Amino acid sequence: MTSPAHRSFSRDTQHKVIAGVCSGLARRFGLSRTVVRAAFLISCVLPGPQFIAYLVLWVVMPRG
């Protein structure tokens, strides 16, 4: 049995659009950057703290 690949919890500074939060989350969970960015944009139409969560992740996530 092999161990899973280590995926770090950090912002992606090479493929960033604003701060690299979405691309960092995509890398961490093995998803497409485009899918995560689209999901965030679609979620902005719904009521909730999406922008606050993005800002908190921007501060909390270390640079990759």
Let me know if residue 26 belongs to a domain.
yes
Separation between Cα atoms, residue 60 and residue 28, nearest integer Å: 15
Could you tell me the pLDDT band of residue 1, with boundaries at 50, 70 and 90?
A: very low
Give pTM, 2 decimals: 0.78
Could you tell me the pLDDT band of residue 9, with boundaries at 50, 70 and 90?
A: confident
Q: For residues 26-46, b (16+ Cβ closer than 10 Å) or e, as one string? A: bbbeeeebeebbeebeeeeee
pLDDT one-digit tens code per residue, 14-48? 888 889 999 999 999 999 999 999 999 999 999 98
Let me know if residue 8 belongs to a domain.
no
Let me know if residue 4 belongs to a domain.
no
Q: How many domains does the chain have?
A: 1
Whether residue 3 has pLDDT greater than 50: no
Residue 49 domain boundaries: 17-60
Let me know if residue 9 belongs to a domain.
no
